[in-house]
């Protein structure tokens, strides 16, 4: 009888040990779901800083459409006057793109364009991030797409009327370290600047 009781206790202990292990195994999918939103961004306006050359930008947006007034040495600028946005591409002496920025065009208000020219689909022609964030999107889409900021990143007030979100991505030995910075207009709650940078000798002028 004692042997039977001991046998039952052993089996119960094993079963309890297995049950105790189950919750930790169930935590893995939850952890993965939490990290799934923290995506890596490597593209803006169809361009990959640190990899693509400025020739790709000229091919996508037209060399003849570059704004000569706004472009500086080592950069090329394109304008969407209807939506008051501009695309700036900075490149180094080897023509490798180091930074791409989409932002509000300083000193320019919306032009008198056809109503269809103000749609989101038209705004997207200038480009957005690889994960679909566009100029003048709602600010709440930032963390919906890219998730909460990592511990070594920060969200700080830049200009008095805006908030800046900074994400740092390190794809590993074969990838290029990238920094994504997005500014949100506090009054309109709209994205007003999106910039993706790769480390290099050339930085984009503010």
What 3-state DSSP class applies to 33?
helix
- Burial of residue 54 (CB within 10 Å: 0-12, 13-18, 19+) is buried
Residue 162 lies in a domain: yes
Band (pLDDT 50/70/90 cuts) for residue 134 is very high
Residue 33 lies in a domain: no
CB-CB contact of 152 with 113 (8 Å): no
Query: Measured in whole angstroms, how far is the alpha carbon of residue 76 from the centre of its chain?
Result: 21
For residue 21, what pLDDT is reported? 39
The candidate with the shortest Cα–Cα distance to 196, out of 183, 184, 179, is: 179
Residue 98 lies in a domain: yes
Residue 85 lies in a domain: yes
Residue 104 lies in a domain: yes
**Residue 167: which domain range?**
54-197
Whether residue 196 has pLDDT greater than 90: yes
DSSP letter at 41 equals P
Residue 164, C-beta contacts closer than 8 angstroms, at least 6 positions apart: 155, 156, 157, 158, 181, 182, 183, 184
Residue 5 lies in a domain: no
| C-alpha–C-alpha distance, residues 195 and 192, integer Å | 10
Question: Model pTM?
Answer: 0.73
| C-alpha–C-alpha distance, residues 195 and 157, integer Å | 16
E-only strand ranges, 40-189? 75-80, 85-91, 97-104, 155-157, 162-169, 178-185
Residue 156 lies in a domain: yes
In the chain, the number of structural domains is 1
| C-alpha–C-alpha distance, residues 142 and 99, integer Å | 19
Cα Rg of the chain (Å, integer): 25
Whether residue 172 has pLDDT greater than 70: no
Whether residue 111 has pLDDT greater than 90: no
Residue 31 lies in a domain: no
CB-CB contact of 57 with 42 (8 Å): no
Whether residue 192 has pLDDT greater than 60: yes
Sheet holding 162-169, edge to edge: 75-80, 85-91, 97-104, 190-197, 178-185, 162-169, 155-157
Mean per-residue pLDDT for 41-68?
96
| C-alpha–C-alpha distance, residues 97 and 75, integer Å | 9
């Amino acid at each position: 009888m004692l042997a039977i009781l001991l046998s039952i206790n052993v089996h119960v202990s094993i079963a309890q040990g297995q049950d105790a292990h189950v919750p930790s195994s169930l935590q893995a999918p939850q952890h993965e779901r939490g990290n799934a939103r923290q995506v890596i961004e490597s593209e803006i306006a169809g361009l990959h800083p640190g990899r693509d050359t400025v020739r790709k930008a000229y091919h996508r947006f037209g060399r003849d459409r570059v704004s000569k007034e706004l472009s500086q040495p080592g950069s090329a600028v394109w304008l969407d006057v209807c939506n008051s946005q501009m695309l700036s591409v900075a490149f180094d002496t080897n023509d490798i793109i180091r930074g791409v920025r989409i932002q509000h065009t300083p000193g320019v208000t919306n032009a008198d364009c056809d109503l269809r020219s103000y749609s989101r689909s038209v705004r997207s022609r200038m480009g957005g991030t690889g994960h679909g964030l566009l100029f003048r999107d709602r600010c709440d889409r930032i963390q919906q797409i890219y998730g909460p900021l990592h511990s070594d990143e920060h969200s700080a007030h830049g200009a008095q009327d805006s908030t800046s979100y900074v994400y740092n991505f390190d794809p590993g030995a074969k990838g290029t370290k990238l920094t994504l910075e997005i500014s949100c207009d506090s009054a309109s709650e709209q994205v007003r600047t999106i910039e993706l940078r790769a480390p290099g000798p050339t930085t984009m002028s503010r």
